[in-house]
Structure 1
Amino acid sequence: MAHATNGKRIAIVTGSASGLGRELAVRLTERGWFVAGVDFDAERQATLVDELTADSYRAFVGDVSDEAFVKASVAEIAGLGHIDLLINNAGQPSFKVPTAYEGADVDRCLKGLKGMILWSVETLKADGETDLKIANVMSTAATRGNANESVYCAAKWGEKGYTQSLKAAYKGSSVKIVGVYPGGIDTDFYRDSHDYVSEEKQHTFMDPGELADVILFNLVNDANLTVSDILIERNYR
């Protein structure tokens, strides 16, 4: 067990191969963590594996909402040692006028919510519900309604409800639940929606690396406290 991770603390990061998830995973390894990174993109996972060392990062390739994949992955990760941190970051956008949404758009947005639940449940069971921090990365879309984001907002509001319920269930225990609500981020997240967010506007959004630093500053520290909600708005210009 100690050989596999060299005694490092273990974190699971979903959506780890690109965007904010990638920045979180890389920065955790730089802070001495072992990261189990989860993503459906095998090519991007392979690139990240090449950049990081075997004793700091292990790639799991699959759909975060596939229950069998989640169960098998968490079992393997738990075999390496106690899981200290789960960051539920994976999610997919869908930005359309209200009448343009179809069932496939709903299914796409709900993958993040389903994955958040499945990874949380399996990690809690694997850890015996002790000394675990779960950070659910959502969006400011979970705090308000936005035009042309009706289904996306609905999914994020569901994620917020799940996060708040976990907080209530584990209040006073060694399980800590953190809600993370970032505004617009300059990543590939909008690549299929340039009719909604232009590339020019996207590049005014928050830098994912800087955002990851702010999140981890609040999430991973030695202080005897827990920042329970992290709301980060971008500077408008």
Structure 2
Amino acid sequence: MAASNGRKIAIVTGSALGLGYELTRQLIERGWFVAGIDFNAERQDALAEEFPSDVYRGYVGDVSDEAFVRQSVAEIKALGHIDLLINNAGQPSFKVPTGYEAADIDKCLKGLKGMILWSVETLKADDETDLKIANVMSTAATRGNANESVYCATKWGEKGYTQSLKAAYKGTSVKVVGVYPGGIDTAFYRDSHDYVSEEKQHTFMNPAELAEVILCNLVNDANLTVSDILIERNYV
């Protein structure tokens, strides 16, 4: 097992692609050790080639699988104190309201379930001390969007969980941050070209720039916590 060599340790779910990859890459550039969580085994192999073992370790599995979460957190805890958890993993489903089926609901709920499971296990592993949890959601958690009814519902659930964690740990060394980004130019919308065209996607935010803005607010030496990060794209 790779050692963190005294580096601060972060867990990033959904680390293989898009925003998760950029958060991972930029944390490593800042001197962190990152435990990356993703179901994409091929991409995890690629990241193992890209990053040395003393700065990155990949875990392949379903973020909503409780046994996988428990085993992974136990292994990461063995490396040292976990300083940061970024719950970034999630899957979308964009359809007209009457187009949704049970499988679509289950798909969207994986992100919410994973957010809860990773938060619970990480809090227990660190004895609820000196931990920052950042829950990456969407601006869909702040409003209702046409043809995103189930996606919005799960993001509103994630927001409710985030706000409840803030209330539970107010005044402690556990800090909880809600992150609400708008549209990002990644493969996130690849199966919904009838809803978000590829041309429109390319007007969305650059994931590297977005990750930089998030981390500037999330990881710094200031004696403060930015509790909510709402980032809207520039409309053209």
TM-score normalized by structure 1? 0.99
Alignment-derived partner of residue 50 in structure 2: 51
- Cα distance in 2, alignment partners of residues 211 and 30 from structure 1: 16
RMSD: 0.9
Percent of residue pairs bearing the same amino acid type: 83
Q: 1:7-22 to 2 correspondence within 5 Å?
A: 7-22=6-21
- Please tell me whether residue 32 in structure 1 is matched to residue 41 in structure 2: no
Secondary structure class of the residue paired with 1:4: coil
- Please tell me whether residue 65 in structure 1 is matched to residue 58 in structure 2: no
Structure 1 residue 147: Cα displacement: 0.1
Secondary structure class of the residue paired with 2:3: helix
Alignment-derived partner of residue 190 in structure 2: 191
User: 1:209 is matched by which residue type in structure 2?
Assistant: A
- Please tell me whether residue 222 in structure 1 is matched to residue 221 in structure 2: yes
- Please tell me whether residue 94 in structure 1 is matched to residue 93 in structure 2: yes
- Cα distance in 2, alignment partners of residues 49 and 236 from structure 1: 37
Alignment-derived partner of residue 73 in structure 2: 74
- Cα distance in 2, alignment partners of residues 233 and 49 from structure 1: 32
Structure 1 residue 60: Cα displacement: 0.2
Alignment-derived partner of residue 203 in structure 1: 202
- Please tell me whether residue 138 in structure 1 is matched to residue 126 in structure 2: no
Structure 1 residue 159: Cα displacement: 0.1
Secondary structure class of the residue paired with 2:213: helix
- Cα distance in 2, alignment partners of residues 101 and 226 from structure 1: 38
- Cα distance in 1, alignment partners of residues 106 and 9 from structure 2: 31
- Cα distance in 2, alignment partners of residues 48 and 4 from structure 1: 17
Structure 1 residue 28: Cα displacement: 0.3
Gaps of 5+ in 1: none
Q: 1:87-126 to 2 correspondence within 5 Å?
A: 87-126=86-125
Structure 1 residue 23: Cα displacement: 0.2
- Please tell me whether residue 85 in structure 1 is matched to residue 84 in structure 2: yes
User: Which runs of structure 1 show a deviation greater than 6 angstroms over 4 or more consecutive aligned residues?
Assistant: none
- Please tell me whether residue 179 in structure 1 is matched to residue 181 in structure 2: no
- Cα distance in 2, alignment partners of residues 125 and 172 from structure 1: 18
- Cα distance in 1, alignment partners of residues 196 and 48 from structure 2: 31
Alignment-derived partner of residue 148 in structure 1: 147
The one-character-per-residue Cα deviations of 1:153-199 (angstroms, maximum 9, x if unpaired) are 00000000000000000000000000000000000100001110000
Structure 1 residue 6: Cα displacement: 1.1
- Cα distance in 2, alignment partners of residues 52 and 28 from structure 1: 12
Gaps of 5+ in 2: none
The one-character-per-residue Cα deviations of 1:41-92 (angstroms, maximum 9, x if unpaired) are 0001111111111100000000000000000000000000000000000000
- Please tell me whether residue 162 in structure 1 is matched to residue 161 in structure 2: yes
- Cα distance in 2, alignment partners of residues 30 and 7 from structure 1: 15
User: 1:98 is matched by which residue type in structure 2?
Assistant: P
Q: 1:226-237 to 2 correspondence within 5 Å?
A: 226-237=225-236
- Cα distance in 2, alignment partners of residues 4 and 56 from structure 1: 8
- Cα distance in 1, alignment partners of residues 78 and 13 from structure 2: 18
- Cα distance in 1, alignment partners of residues 51 and 79 from structure 2: 18
Secondary structure class of the residue paired with 1:5: coil
User: 2:30 is matched by which residue type in structure 1?
Assistant: R
The one-character-per-residue Cα deviations of 1:122-175 (angstroms, maximum 9, x if unpaired) are 000000000000000000000000000000000000000000000000000000
